[in-house]
Amino acid sequence: MNPWETIKQQLETAVSPQSFRDWINRTSFGQLDGGVLSVHVPNRETKTWLETEFCSHVDSIIRRLQLPVQSVLYQLAAASGESAVDMQSDQEFGLESPFSQLNPKFTFDSFVVGACNQFAHAAARSVATNPSRSYNPLFIYGGVGMGKTHLMHAIGRALMDNSGGMRVIYTSSERFTNEVVTSIRFDRTAHLRQRYRSADVLLIDDIQLLGNKERTQEEFFHTFNELHDHQKQIVLSSDAPPKDIPGLLERLRSRFEWGLMADIQPPDLETKMAILDKKSEIEGVKLPEDVRTFIATKTKSNVRELEGALVKLMAYSSLTGAPINHSMAQQVLKHLTHVQDRRVTIDAIQKAVAERYGIKQPQLKEKSNTKKIVEPRQVAMYLVKDLTTASLPEIGRAFGGKHHTTVIHSISKIQRQRQTNPDLNRMLHSLTDLLQ
């Protein structure tokens, strides 16, 4: 393996998947001559990004692995540096064709519908059938690994398949941010705006990552207005509803709420079983009933983890030639049992809740009765009761000496509210998954 491929392998685990795909994956080894490593890059933006943003990462890897490299030289793959800029295509600039961005496995047919996601699925179907006429924007939100990205890709592919000539752009907010930064650096904001604002449908994943990025939000604000004013469809996904995205400009927050907001709740046991059935059917694998039940009950409320467990089982079976059965599942997926059996502490719960609400942990023990403190304190008490064996008096003492009747009131209140408040229910599931 050449030195650059070795470095790329290390970078893949050191940077985000999106950054790796955008800036590193399309580079290639040139030559190693006299300690100088030449690397071919597709365009000037990538060259500059590697020389500035990833320089320290690359240097660290070279030193740690003791590679025979004294310096790294990034060279444009084009014959002329100027022609690489002048003839720069959307793909070179970082915006590949919509089909190259869309996962062919993420279709409406492969999406398992249950009570947890029925509303979001129906809304996505409606937008794919009648873009700009149903809900604009469509804002899909839910926890990590719940299927938001699957629906985004399904919308994009359905539109590309059924609406000939329609310009569909799918991207992530991290990628959009990178493009904004690059366009400013190279004075190409007009080019960026022309491409995004000429879209018929714009799908942006993980929009919550725009929080606290004022320059990027400003650019997206005007892009949103331009598209919406011309009745172009906008679809956004997030791990939280607009009102809970920190650092989001109020004018963007209000626009995100203009259309339809559809949440995806964690899957129940029945839906998890159906997902395993669908996945195993697609992969052509026969999954015994007891194995299916084992995976569904041992995994947390996360579709991604559920599918990951099945993939691990299939890989083990394929590599060893052993049939998939309950005994194998227990052996291969023993980490699920270990995670589930991990003891959750009151301190861990308080830290997690305080971080989620943006307060300091000691504040949960104060006598303050302001909403800013009372709500997270009640949530924390509820989780302590749900996830630990602590008694009511013990819970009270852990929260600054609260009387056990106060603890009972807090637990009962959260229990009632989660039945009618999907945002609270989703957050409780998210915190539980984080802690267990």
Rounded Cα–Cα distance for residues 352 and 340 (Å): 17
Q: Tell me, what's the pLDDT at 311?
A: 87
pTM above 0.75, yes or no: no
Cα atoms found within 13 Å of the Cα of residue 96, Cβ hemisphere only? 11
Domain boundaries, the chain: 3-88, 98-264, 269-341, 346-435
Q: Which of 270, 339, 341 is nearest to 309 (CA)?
A: 339
Q: Tell me, what's the pLDDT at 222?
A: 96
Q: Tell me, what's the pLDDT at 436?
A: 67
Q: Tell me, what's the pLDDT at 93?
A: 45
Instruction: Please classify residue 401 by burial: count the beta carbons closer than 10 Å to its beta carbon, then call 0-12 exposed, 13-18 middle and 19+ buried.
Output: exposed
Q: Tell me, what's the pLDDT at 423?
A: 87
CATH assignment of 269-341, given 3.40.960.10, 3.90.550.10, 3.40.50.300, 1.10.8.60? 1.10.8.60
As given in the structure block, the two tokens for residue 38 are 């030449």
Q: Tell me, what's the pLDDT at 183?
A: 87
CATH superfamily membership of 98-264: P-loop containing nucleotide triphosphate hydrolases (3.40.50.300)
* Crossing angle of the two packed helices 189-197 and 173-185, in degrees rounded to 10: 140
Q: Tell me, what's the pLDDT at 431?
A: 87
**What HEC string does the chain produce?**
CCHHHHHHHHHHHHCCHHHHHHHHCCCEEEEEECCEEEEEECCHHHHHHHHHCCHHHHHHHHHHHCCCCCEEEEEECCCCHHHHHHCCCHHHHCCCCHHHHCCCCCCCCCCCCCCCCHHHHHHHHHHHHCCCCCCCCEEEEECCCCCHHHHHHHHHHHHHHHCCCCCEEEEEHHHHHHHHHHHHHCCCHHHHHHHHHCCCEEEEECHHHHCCCHHHHHHHHHHHHHHHHCCCEEEEEECCCHHHCCCCCHHHHHHHCCCEEEEECCCCHHHHHHHHHHHHHHHCCCCCHHHHHHHHHHCCCCHHHHHHHHHHHHHHHHHHCCCCCHHHHHHHCHHHHHHHHCCCCHHHHHHHHHHHHCCCHHHHHCCCCCHHHHHHHHHHHHHHHHHCCCCHHHHHHHCCCCCHHHHHHHHHHHHHHHHHCHHHHHHHHHHHHHHC
Instruction: Please classify residue 352 by burial: count the beta carbons closer than 10 Å to its beta carbon, then call 0-12 exposed, 13-18 middle and 19+ buried.
Output: buried
**CB atoms near residue 242 (< 10 Å):** 20
Residue located via tokens 């109020």: 250
Domain 3-88 coded CATH 3.30.470.20: no
Q: Tell me, what's the pLDDT at 301?
A: 64
Q: Tell me, what's the pLDDT at 164?
A: 65
For each successive 10 residues of the chain (436 residues), what is the average pLDDT?
Answer: 90 80 88 87 79 76 86 70 35 44 84 92 95 91 88 92 81 89 87 89 93 93 96 94 90 95 89 90 88 84 82 88 88 68 80 91 90 94 89 90 90 90 87 78
**CB atoms near residue 1 (< 10 Å):** 8
Question: Residues with Cβ < 8 Å from 107, sequence gap 6 or more?
Answer: 153, 154, 157, 158
CATH class of the structural domain 346-435: mainly alpha
